[in-house]
């Protein structure tokens, strides 16, 4: 097996010089010496020692990608975009999942720091809990103080480079589009009441209906996954309501809701229209195909890595706009008086409050009053 010492002898340089060239040290080596070392390494078939390379650089070529749910297509597509971008930079990606546990995310950042990862990418929603956010910021600050680079895909609340999807604005635009089909009574499968992504999307939808002069939607909270969507849809069916269209705050919940509605004999879209949010490719496959707000998920993953690698000084924020896509799961109703145009959605706050939940055992909708905010 060829050693670094063999390369140094063959190139006629010191062992230290060969190490600086092949292990990526920041110390300068002249062009002629560098060519001699690289040529010798190629002729001898020398393989770089990753551990030695990390020690020479002070950091590895590893990107630590931390996502919240490995089986959620939203995160799978983001991860694919980030991994492909890492490949273009000659970097290797290590993947960790938090199972939507903020404390596990903090522990994973600490582990990646100990392993000298060069970049940490965090993908997923933050929670409306300032104590948790403070601990997350503190762990990231320790990592960055040692030279690590960070970017977040989600809300801009951690003081880092951020790729932030326009969740509130996308939900607002979706509500306007659905109202344009003649729908007037809506329900929102609103996800967990402390998850900022769910809060932003719910608030955007609620605000659009208010601006259009339509009644507030019926809100049903649940887990932010397929089972949560199914359970929320089943609870909605048990209520006495006149809803014609349901908005699930992510595509996974919408897929579960579709299954729950079918189990109870509710036909989509004939009896009830249904829409989601995210734009994952899998939602084109169910029958009917699901309406959604489509985000450029793979591009978001690549953008986050590019931000982290090029970041210097003040954190930068890239806002990403979604596209409303109306598919077979929504249908126009009989022609009704036109809905007034809604004004543009105002900017979202950093940590918004959630609309109040509809209790799971509520037997009747209360369409008369807009839900209070916590």
At 91 the pLDDT is 95
At 55 the pLDDT is 43
CA distance 183 to 177: 9
At 216 the pLDDT is 97
Per-residue pLDDT of the chain (374 residues; tens, 9 = 90+): 788 788 888 889 887 787 777 766 555 778 888 889 888 888 888 876 555 554 444 457 999 999 999 889 999 999 999 999 999 999 999 999 999 999 999 999 999 999 999 999 999 999 999 999 999 999 999 999 888 999 999 999 999 999 999 999 999 999 999 999 999 999 999 999 999 999 999 999 999 999 999 999 999 999 999 999 999 999 999 998 999 999 999 999 999 999 999 999 999 999 999 999 999 887 777 889 999 999 999 999 999 999 999 977 789 999 999 999 999 999 999 754 455 555 555 555 444 444 434 333 333 333 333 333 32
Residue 349 contacts by C-beta under 8 Å, 6 or more apart in sequence?
A: none
Model confidence pTM above 0.85 = no
CA distance 258 to 261: 5
At 353 the pLDDT is 43
Beta bridge partners of 149: 119
Token pair of 131 as six digits? 């104590």
Token pair of 250 as six digits? 């992510």
At 368 the pLDDT is 34
At 125 the pLDDT is 94
CA distance 100 to 65: 14
Smallest CA-to-CA distance from 225 within 194, 198, 261, 196 is with: 198
At 135 the pLDDT is 95
Residue 328 contacts by C-beta under 8 Å, 6 or more apart in sequence?
A: 269, 287, 288, 289, 291
Give the strand pairing for 245-248 and 218-221: unpaired
Domain annotation for the chain: domains and CATH numbers: 4-57 (1.10.260.40), 62-165+300-307+314-319 (3.40.50.2300)
At 50 the pLDDT is 54
At 370 the pLDDT is 34
How many Å from the N-terminal Cα to the C-terminal Cα in the chain? 66
């Amino acid at each position: 097996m060829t050693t670094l010492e063999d390369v140094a002898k063959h190139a006629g340089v010191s062992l230290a010089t060969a190490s600086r060239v092949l292990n990526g040290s920041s110390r300068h080596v002249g062009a002629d010496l560098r060519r001699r070392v690289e040529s010798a390494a190629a002729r001898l078939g020398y393989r770089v020692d990753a551990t030695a390379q990390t020690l020479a650089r002070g950091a590895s070529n590893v990107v630590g990608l931390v996502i919240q749910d490995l089986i959620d297509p939203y995160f799978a597509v983001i991860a694919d975009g980030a991994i492909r971008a890492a490949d273009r930079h000659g970097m290797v990606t290590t993947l960790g999942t938090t199972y939507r546990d903020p404390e596990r995310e903090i522990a994973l950042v600490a582990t990646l720091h100990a392993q000298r990862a060069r970049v940490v990418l965090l993908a997923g929603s933050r929670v409306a809990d300032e104590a948790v956010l403070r601990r997350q910021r503190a762990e990231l600050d320790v990592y960055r103080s040692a030279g690590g680079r960070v970017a977040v895909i989600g809300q801009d609340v951690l003081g880092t480079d951020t790729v932030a999807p326009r969740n509130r604005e996308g939900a607002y635009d979706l509500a306007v589009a659905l109202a344009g089909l003649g729908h007037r009574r809506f329900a929102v499968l609103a996800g967990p009441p402390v998850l900022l992504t769910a809060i932003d999307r719910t608030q955007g939808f609620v605000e659009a209906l208010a601006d259009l002069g339509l009644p507030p939607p019926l809100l049903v909270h649940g887990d932010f996954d397929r089972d949560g969507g199914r359970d929320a849809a089943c609870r909605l069916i048990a209520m006495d309501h006149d809803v014609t269209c349901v908005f699930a705050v992510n595509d996974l919940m919408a897929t579960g809701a579709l299954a729950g509605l079918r189990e109870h004999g509710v036909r989509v879209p004939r009896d009830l229209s249904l829409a989601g949010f995210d734009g994952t490719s899998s939602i084109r496959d169910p029958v009917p195909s699901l309406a959604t707000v489509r985000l450029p998920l793979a591009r978001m993953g690549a953008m986050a890595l590019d931000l982290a690698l090029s970041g210097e000084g003040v954190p930068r924020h890239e806002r990403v706009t979604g596209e409303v896509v109306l598919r077979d799961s929504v249908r126009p109703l009989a022609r009704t008086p036109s809905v007034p145009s809604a004004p543009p959605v105002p900017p979202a706050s950093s940590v918004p409050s959630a609309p109040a939940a509809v209790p799971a055992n509520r037997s009747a909708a209360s369409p008369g009053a807009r839900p209070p905010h916590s």
